Amino acid sequence: MAVVRAKINVTGIVQGIGFRPFIYRTAVKNGLKGYVRNRGDAGVEILLEGKEDAVKNFLRDLKEKKPPLAQIHEVITKRLEGKNEHEKFAIYKSSKEAKLSGSVIPPDIAICNECLKELRDPNDPRYKYFFITCTNCGPRYTIIERLPYDRENTTMQDFPMCNFCQSEYTDPLNRRFHAQTVACPKCGPKVYLTTSKGELIASEDPVRKAGKLLSEGFIVAVKGYGGFHVATATTKDEPLVRLRKVKHRKQKPFAIMARSLEVIKRFAEVSLREAELLTSYTRPIMLLDKSNDYHLSDLIAPSLHNVGVMLPYTGLHYMLFDNVHEPAFVMTSANPPNQPIIKNDEEALQRLGDTVDYFLFHNRHIAHRCDDSVFRVHSENQVFIRRSRGYAPAPIVLKEKAKHCVVGLGGELNNTACLLLGNKAFVSQHIGDVENVETRDFLESATKHLIHLTNSKVEAVACDLHPKFTTTKLAHDLAEENGWQLVQVQHHYAHIAALIAEYGVKEMVGICCDGYGYGEDGEAWGGEILLCTHENFGFKRLAHLEKQPLIGGDLATRHPLRVAAGMLHKKVKIENWLLQNKRHFPHGEKEVQVILHQLEKERNVIETTSCGRVLDAVAAVLGVCYERTYEGEPAMKLEAVATKGKDVLRLEPRMKGNTLDTAQMLSEIFENREGHSKTDLACSTHMYIAKGLAALAIEKALENNVKNVGFSGGVACNEILTSTIRKIVEAYNLRFLVHTAIPPGDGGTSLGQAVAASFSQF
Ligand SMILES: [Zn+2]
Ligand SMILES: [Zn+2]
Ligand SMILES: [Zn+2]
């Protein structure tokens, strides 16, 4: 049998998930000699010496038996000349070499079952150790400072291993063999409780003590893997009232963390798919329908039919519940208004000191902040509301390879960055609303970190068409600084391009509905039917919702009665109705008079085709929501009301050429508002819009001989609209496509921008 030497380079997610121990075991099992080591480009390099058959078997095992969290993108095998020189197989010290690109370190991983068992075992050295982890679990992305993924390049460098941990770390048969996060009560990070001023509170068991304080109704800031959460009880109103007041959050729902799946089932409906996601190693927040037995405080998710719930994902989280009966705790990201989630202790003390009663700190610093991910399930389909912890920076593998390496910087709200390299899109963690210097800096550093992690050579930077967005300015700066091409991509085109890339289809008639996007004509768009093709930069706007006036511009976005007034004014007499509702305007009757005057003179009015604004207007007419205190609030509350309704009005969509009439629909709702229930009228609204959008899209798809109809934009998070449009579109034998790998909302536009820019010629 011939004896060979082979050098193998593996790219993908191959560091930080027990890959080298796996390679070691596989090589030894096959009687091979040589070494394995991590590389500075996040890849892994293997040298094998031995029989040809053994190498073949090794390569087969490599693909078939790889660790569950590994993602292999490419295996490059090269035969080497020369004599065999190794006497055994070994794990070598990492090399700094960084030539290959596209590998990346894994996302943070929730505590595994084996670690959880040890956490509960009084005979285990890591009994009650809040940061127990192994090669299969623990933080990754949030602790890494440099590549390769070795302990000294992570924030674990401050915690030298004790002899016991070291012995496990060096034992090839141990689950913690080369686990960079290995630690125990003796050598690992410590946890401690302080007052709101940072004064230490002596406690034998700070985590359980914090759990007790939470259940008693105190507010505690809890430091986790990727940032601080603000936590409190869920069964009492008082702390929630206080929390809403200090956080200036009137209505925005709080996410909660429940002690177990069984407990969740006592207050929410959980389908099989939802249970699967809740318990997966990514542990996202799931938006679950409240059940009839919902018994938590109504202040958690006011006037919504669903509530955001997650399960514990660290030992610390599990321990919070140990000595208390509370079914769940509020666990909301600690971020001051318009700021990224807090990750530094000093910043937490400074910014949260007035909000919280206690802090639960640990002494490991956070290298990269990362918010929780959020999902919703539409029948069987998962819909990302936010893609962050547990997912970033793992790539989304696309069907087609991009011709250029591009970074997309996204738009303004709920932003992310995306690095497109070949057929992989690396989307950053949730950045937030990029409107100030702090979030701009966060976006810039996350973008640079992605480029560094993947060792990419960027050719172009893509951004929104809006001339004044902070992200547009950042794109200009980066293009100039690095000599990159700059490509501006219209907002709704970016949404549909992302959908085209997710499915790898050649062409699509895309329905794109959201709150706002800067149109090619400079106007406010948001209810669009676009024709887009793969590999041709640009799109055709085939149809849209009727233009509606926004009285007072941005003010109308905040106060949906203004949108309703603008839409109704031409159809019905609204003066009395507005006066009846004057208390819902900040300046009362005076404001109503100004609005009526503006309507008459058509002054201070901009127009929009936004679907979000139409839903807002209906919410205001039905008295479901008069003030938007968070993004999407009126539309979300309208959906909550509609879920229990029947389509009583059965309105047929009215088209005016290529536009769907929305003013007539609103006036019908208005005229019927006393004769029917809110729930039924909200349902009829949804049916009208869904039927109208579907009809337009189907007509355009048939006209242009296109087989794919897509639905994107924030409105596509709405289950009633999505399922209704799907039914109609599929009845015409057309394929209906929605996002599954990225959010339909603006967190997905960075990917769409990068993909669209890669189609352009440069
Ligand atoms: Zn583990
Ligand atoms: Zn130790
Ligand atoms: Zn959008």
Centre of ligand 3 from the C-alpha of residue 348, in Å: 32
Which stretches of the chain score pLDDT less than 70? 1
Q: Please compute, for residue 141, the number of CA atoms within 13 A of its CA located in the half-sphere on the CB side.
A: 30
Centre of ligand 1 from the C-alpha of residue 284, in Å: 18
Centre of ligand 3 from the C-alpha of residue 713, in Å: 5
> What backbone phi and psi angles, to 5 degrees, belong to 576?
-65, -40
What's the confidence (pLDDT) of residue 1? 65
What's the confidence (pLDDT) of residue 535? 82
What's the confidence (pLDDT) of residue 407? 98
CB 44 within 8 A of CB 24: no
Centre of ligand 1 from the C-alpha of residue 279, in Å: 15
What's the confidence (pLDDT) of residue 527? 98
Cα 754 from chain centroid?
18
Centre of ligand 2 from the C-alpha of residue 66, in Å: 28
What's the confidence (pLDDT) of residue 143? 96
**Cα three-residue angle 108-112-114, rounded to 5 degrees:** 150
* Ramachandran category for residue 198: left, alpha or beta (phi over 0 → left; psi -120 to 50 → alpha): left
Start-to-end C-alpha separation, the chain? 52
CB 526 within 8 A of CB 610: yes
Nearest ligand by distance to the CA of 174: 1
pTM above 0.75, yes or no: yes
Nearest ligand by distance to the CA of 713: 3
Contacts of 423 (CB under 8 A, 6+ apart): 397, 398, 399, 400, 401, 402
Upstream peptide bond of 393 is cis (omega within 30 degrees of 0): yes
Centre of ligand 1 from the C-alpha of residue 381, in Å: 29
As a whole number of angstroms, the distance between CA 490 and CA 471 comes to: 13
Measuring CA to CA, which residue among 75, 65, 147 is closest to residue 106?
A: 147
As a whole number of angstroms, the distance between CA 460 and CA 483 comes to: 8
Nearest ligand by distance to the CA of 183: 2
Nearest ligand by distance to the CA of 176: 1
Measuring CA to CA, which residue among 718, 699, 717, 720 is closest to residue 709?
A: 699
Q: Please compute, for residue 354, the number of CA atoms within 13 A of its CA located in the half-sphere on the CB side.
A: 7
What's the confidence (pLDDT) of residue 755? 97
Cα 544 from chain centroid?
28
Q: Which regions of 431-547 does DSSP assign to beta strands (E)? A: 460-464, 485-489, 507-518, 524-533, 539-545
SS3 637: helix
Centre of ligand 3 from the C-alpha of residue 110, in Å: 31
As a whole number of angstroms, the distance between CA 757 and CA 340 comes to: 28
Centre of ligand 1 from the C-alpha of residue 179, in Å: 10
SS3 496: helix
Centre of ligand 3 from the C-alpha of residue 539, in Å: 16
Centre of ligand 3 from the C-alpha of residue 335, in Å: 23
Nearest ligand by distance to the CA of 184: 2
Nearest ligand by distance to the CA of 136: 1
Which secondary-structure segment (H or E) carries 606? strand 605-608
The DSSP output letter for 746 is G
Cα 588 from chain centroid?
39
As a whole number of angstroms, the distance between CA 715 and CA 721 comes to: 8
As a whole number of angstroms, the distance between CA 440 and CA 31 comes to: 53
SS3 712: strand
Centre of ligand 3 from the C-alpha of residue 414, in Å: 10
